[in-house]
A and B are shown apart, each in its own frame.
Chain A
Amino acid sequence: MAETDRFLGYRRSDGTVGVRNDVLVLSATGLTGPTARRICAAIQGSKTVSMPYDAGVLGEDEAAQHRALVGLGRNPNVGAVLVIGGNPPKVERIAEAVASTGKPVEALSLDDCGHDALVLTDKGVRAGAKLARDVSSQRREPAPVSALFLGLECGRSDPSSGLTANPLLGLIADRVVDAGGSAVIGEATEWLGAEHLLARRAASPAVAQAILEAVRGREQLAMDAGVDLLGHNPGPTNIAAGLSTIEEKSLGNIAKSGSRPIQSVLAYAQAPPTPGLHLMDAPAYAPESLTGFTAAGAQVMLFTTGVGNSFTSLLAPTLKVSANPETCARLDVQLDFEAAEVFLGREPIEAAADRLFQTLLDVASGTATWGEILGEGEEVVSRFGAAL
């Protein structure tokens, strides 16, 4: 990697750099989801995320949901946010936390609109349109690789993921971390059987302990539920594709993290306190895992697949990478990067890493991913407990 490697991004007033410049219509409560979709449909180029819950969510669950909503609003790819919800305290608390980044934020609630969703729609479209005009004045500028925060994901994995595609992501993670940027892997169940290798790379004994505890917690969850991980993780699609055990899947999974020291174990949707490589103790299912990364501030996702997986983050462009030759031949408008030649021994992995790094900079600079073009993106916030 050259010192001069740059991408073109949107500089935010908090020092972060967006790779997209979206207006986000953020529905903080289940009651306002349909209104958020109406507002989003009326404002060209806006995106919407809806939290389907509100009242009755408790404790850690409440904290995680608040952290996720605020984090999605704070993500550097979001240029401005319209927060809507049931009542003023709810929307204002989120709006204030998002506005501390310096980006424009508006907040509206049903209570302020005579409990009339159509009035909220009208006010929301007008407020959102002004935000959209505001963000449209921003321009891309050269930015260093150190401004990148990568989310590293795999889904519908097969053994080609662990052999080739995930180690390829690991090389990219190392390059970004070495440049002063950040990267995160989650899917804590898929550390099981490989946790000793992760713990060995912990930046401190406390981080090593946190890694082992996270894995113990996930394994205990399966045991307490009386669940055999086989059939759940690896799931039926993984098994049909050739993965036999969670240990085999995990050893392939962690290759995504590259080789650099692990700085911390983050809670779901928690922003990393420092640059570098981090783990997130989060569920493995891609929709909620990716949202954990987006809410933590990741601007770009690198997502490997064995047999194919169309799902992407809504707010962070998600590059789909596969090394399975049959998959690469089949999914020409799903995969953003093909590494089958590496799997087959015809291309050195370092050469593929050079190609993927350039693709990453291109996408960070505005080149669309297939998932963006086809509208495969959603954000799905995890639930962790029972509600009142």
Chain B
Amino acid sequence: MTLAPTWDAIVLDEADGVATALRPLEAGQTIHLRYPGRIAELTVSEAIALCHKVAVTDLEPGEPVRKYGEVIGEASAPIRRGAWVHVHNLRSLRGRG
């Protein structure tokens, strides 16, 4: 028998606006988030597939979205904490010919 990990999603840097789901997450589920050096709780507002991103802070349109402590794009729509973050509400700032 293997031990289950004690967290469901990981935040790579304290500055990050998103966590990555380490397992499929269900709408309404309260999950454990692993930050560097601490664990926090978050209630997920919609289903998040394995490896997809969930917002850990509210993000306004135009606000930079960080992962790895680095900017991965900007919010293209209002994003509430607990929501799925993907191409429908996060847009790249590079190579948009």
Instruction: State A345–B23 Cα separation when bound (angstroms).
Output: 12
Cβ of B40 to closest chain A Cβ, rounded Å: 15
Task: Tell me if A283 is interfacial: C-beta within 8 Å of chain B.
Answer: no
Using Cβ atoms and an 8 Å threshold, which residues of chain B touch A194? Answer: 70
Contact A325 B73 (CB under 8 A): no
Contact A248 B51 (CB under 8 A): no
Instruction: State A162–B51 Cα separation when bound (angstroms).
Output: 10
Using Cβ atoms and an 8 Å threshold, which residues of chain A touch B70? Answer: 193-194, 197, 247, 251
Contact A158 B51 (CB under 8 A): yes
A160, A193, A242: which has the most chain B beta carbons within 10 Å? Answer: A242
Using Cβ atoms and an 8 Å threshold, which residues of chain B touch A245? Answer: 72-73, 87, 90-94
A227, A230, A252: which has the most chain B beta carbons within 10 Å? Answer: A230
Chain B binding site: helix, strand, loop or mixed by DSSP? loop
Using Cβ atoms and an 8 Å threshold, which residues of chain A touch B5? Answer: 344-346
Contacts known (A244-B72, A248-B73); A230 close to B2, Cβ less than 8 A: no
Binds B, one of A11-19, A94-102, A218-226, A359-367: A218-226
Contact B51 A251 (CB under 8 A): no
Contact A226 B67 (CB under 8 A): no
Contact B94 A247 (CB under 8 A): yes
Instruction: State A34–B2 Cα separation when bound (angstroms).
Output: 53
The residue from B6, B72, B87 contacting A230, defined by CB atoms under 8 A apart: B87
Task: Tell me if A163 is interfacial: C-beta within 8 Å of chain B.
Answer: yes
Instruction: Give the tally of cross-chain contacts (CB within 8 A).
Output: 109
Using Cβ atoms and an 8 Å threshold, which residues of chain B touch A344? Answer: 5, 22
Contacts known (A244-B87, A326-B50, A346-B5); A230 close to B96, Cβ less than 8 A: yes
Contact B86 A345 (CB under 8 A): no
Contacts known (A242-B49, A248-B73); A345 close to B94, Cβ less than 8 A: no
Contacts known (A194-B70, A245-B73); A229 close to B95, Cβ less than 8 A: yes
Contacts known (A229-B94, A306-B51, A346-B3); A248 close to B72, Cβ less than 8 A: yes
Contact A223 B51 (CB under 8 A): no
Cβ of A240 to closest chain B Cβ, rounded Å: 9
Task: Tell me if A65 is interfacial: C-beta within 8 Å of chain B.
Answer: no
Using Cβ atoms and an 8 Å threshold, which residues of chain B touch A227? Answer: 95, 97
Smallest Cβ-Cβ distance to B69: which chain A residue? A251
Contacts known (A222-B97, A223-B95, A229-B94); A244 close to B20, Cβ less than 8 A: no
Contact A228 B96 (CB under 8 A): yes
Cβ of B59 to closest chain A Cβ, rounded Å: 13
Contact A242 B97 (CB under 8 A): no
Of all A-B residue pairs in the complex, the 8 with the closest CB atoms, nearest first, are: A229-B95, A245-B92, A223-B97, A248-B72, A345-B5, A242-B51, A242-B52, A245-B73
Contacts A162-B68, A230-B91 aside, 13 further interface pairs with beta carbons under 8 A come to: A194-B70, A219-B94, A229-B94, A233-B95, A242-B20, A244-B53, A245-B87, A245-B93, A247-B72, A247-B73, A248-B67, A251-B70, A346-B5
- Chain A residues with CB under 8 Å of chain B are 158-160, 162-163, 189, 192-194, 197, 218-219, 222-230, 233, 239, 241-242, 244-248, 251-252, 306, 324-326, 341, 343-346
- Chain B residues with CB under 8 Å of chain A are 2-3, 5-7, 10, 12, 20, 22-23, 34, 49-53, 67-68, 70-73, 85-87, 90-97
Task: Show 6 residue pairs from A and B whose CB-CB distance is below 8 angstroms, ordered by the A residue.
Answer: A229-B96, A233-B95, A241-B51, A244-B87, A345-B34, A346-B5
